[in-house]
């Protein structure tokens, strides 16, 4: 059945709501069979009052995980990596359990503890403690291995940034180059993603961007400008910078079969149920919407920025929505309504 037409009035209502709930600004862009819809609300900069624009760049957080997965699955297509091989075959001695496979990492079923849970237990002081820090991948893995694993390898889904830090180590070991080079050569340049950058450990967002504001844990405390940070705590798990246009192009190309073989895209779309309406594949989320449509993509939550970037199975309709705040669950949940507007016409 044909998709309902996007509802841009509904989308405007969602963005108005997230601004009312504390985001300084929000944006959304739908690309639908070559036709583009743009909606914005509020400001990119609370000091100057500049209005947010759908052209503004921003930190995409864990949407980065899909980019990292694409690189590794391209290496599988090139017969340089096996999904069901132990990680320790490629990185001897890294992990304390030889049963943890590459597929376990990319589906969050390794059981590796998520070090960021401790790092950001206190949101503002945790962020301030690391915003200028530069970690090595192995330092982050060591933080994880200090804690017990959450489950036996493959036994359960348990979201963990550690999985995609190890994935970054795999990319660098197998390509002999930094992840920045892999993103650039394998995704950014081929798709002409001119707003997409991996600048770690630099703290500045290149070009025109929206500032991002961390909501403190204490109700009523002032927002913290989180725009400048190394994102070294995340790297291949969350440090990319992009834009609504570029993410729509990326998921359109991925879902349209232009980045991976059909077999690898099928691997990505083998889903583990997470909740009644969500599931996780390999670096890819599925969300089942109220109108019976399922959409595929990823969400992101990095200090100052919430992102949803999803598309239809064939990639012919994609949506990216972003609010320039974080640590505000009401905003994160309300912003999910952008999917209902974009794909269910609500």
Ligand X SMILES: CC1(C)S[C@@H]2[C@H](NC(=O)CCCC[C@H](NC(=O)C[NH3+])C(=O)[O-])C(=O)N2[C@H]1C(=O)[O-]
Active-site residue set: 62
Smallest separation, CB 101 to ligand X (Å): 21
d(CA 171, CA 251): 21
Select 12 or 119, whichever has its Cβ closest to ligand X. Answer: 119
Give the C-alpha separation, 223 to 123, whole Å: 12
Task: Decide if residue 320 touches ligand X (CB under 6 A).
Answer: no
Size, binding site for ligand X by CB under 6 A: 17
Is residue 326 a contact point for ligand X (CB under 6 A)? yes
Contact 97, 153 (CB under 8 A): yes
Question: Are the beta carbons of 311 and 319 closer than 8 angstroms?
Answer: yes
Among 69, 144, 210, 299, binds ligand X (CB under 6 A): 299
Q: How far apart are CA 295 and CA 320, in angstroms?
A: 12
Of positions 62, 74, 110, 312, contacts ligand X by CB under 6 A: 62
d(CA 26, CA 340): 16
Nearest approach, Cβ of residue 224 and ligand X (Å)? 9
Tell me the window of 18-26, 119-127, 250-258, 265-273 that interacts with ligand X (CB under 6 A). 119-127
Site string for ligand X, 205-244 (x = CB under 6 A): ---------x-----------------------x------
Q: Is 303 in the site for ligand X (CB under 6 A)?
A: yes
CB 176 to ligand X: min, Å: 28
Residue 174 vs 289, nearer CB to ligand X:
289
Q: Is there binding between residue 69 and ligand X (CB under 6 A)?
A: no
Q: Is 159 in the site for ligand X (CB under 6 A)?
A: yes
Which residues, 6+ apart, have CB-to-CB distance to 269 below 8 Å? 281, 284, 286, 296
Q: Which is nearer to ligand X, 19 or 86 (CB)?
A: 19
Q: Which residues bind ligand X (CB under 6 A)?
A: 61-62, 116, 120, 123, 126, 159, 161, 214, 238, 299-303, 326-327
């Amino acid at each position: 059945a044909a998709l309902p037409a996007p509802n841009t009035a509904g989308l405007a209502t969602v963005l108005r709501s997230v601004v009312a709930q504390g985001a300084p600004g929000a944006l959304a862009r739908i690309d639908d069979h070559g036709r583009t819809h743009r909606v914005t609300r509020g400001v990119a900069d609370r000091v100057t009052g500049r209005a947010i624009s759908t052209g503004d760049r921003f930190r995409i957080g864990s949407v980065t995980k899909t980019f990292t997965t694409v690189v590794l699955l391209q290496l599988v297509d090139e017969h340089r990596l096996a999904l069901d091989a132990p990680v320790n075959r490629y990185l001897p001695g890294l992990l304390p359990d030889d049963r943890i496979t590459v597929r376990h990492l990319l589906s969050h079923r390794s059981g590796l503890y998520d070090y960021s849970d401790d790092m950001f237990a206190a949101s503002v002081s945790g962020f301030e403690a690391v915003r200028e820090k530069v970690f090595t991948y192995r330092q982050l893995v060591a933080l994880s291995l200090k804690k017990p694993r959450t489950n036996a390898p493959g036994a359960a889904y348990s979201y963990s940034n550690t999985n995609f830090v190890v994935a970054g180590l795999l990319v660098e070991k197998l390509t002999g180059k930094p992840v920045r080079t892999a993103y650039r050569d394998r995704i950014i340049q081929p798709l002409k993603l001119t707003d997409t950058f991996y600048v770690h450990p630099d703290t500045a967002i290149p070009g025109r961007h929206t500032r991002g504001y961390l909501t403190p844990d204490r109700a009523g405390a002032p927002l913290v400008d989180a725009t400048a940070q190394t994102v070294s705590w995340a790297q291949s798990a969350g440090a990319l910078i992009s834009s609504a246009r570029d993410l729509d192009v990326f998921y359109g190309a991925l879902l349209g079969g232009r980045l991976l073989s059909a077999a690898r895209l099928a691997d990505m779309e083998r889903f583990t149920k997470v909740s009644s309406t969500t599931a996780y594949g390999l670096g890819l989320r599925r969300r089942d919407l109220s109108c019976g449509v399922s959409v595929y993509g990823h969400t992101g939550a990095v200090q100052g920025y919430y992102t949803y970037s999803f598309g239809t199975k064939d990639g012919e309709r994609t949506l990216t929505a972003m609010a320039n705040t974080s640590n505000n669950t009401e905003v994160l949940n309300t912003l999910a309504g952008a999917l209902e507007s974009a794909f269910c016409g609500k």
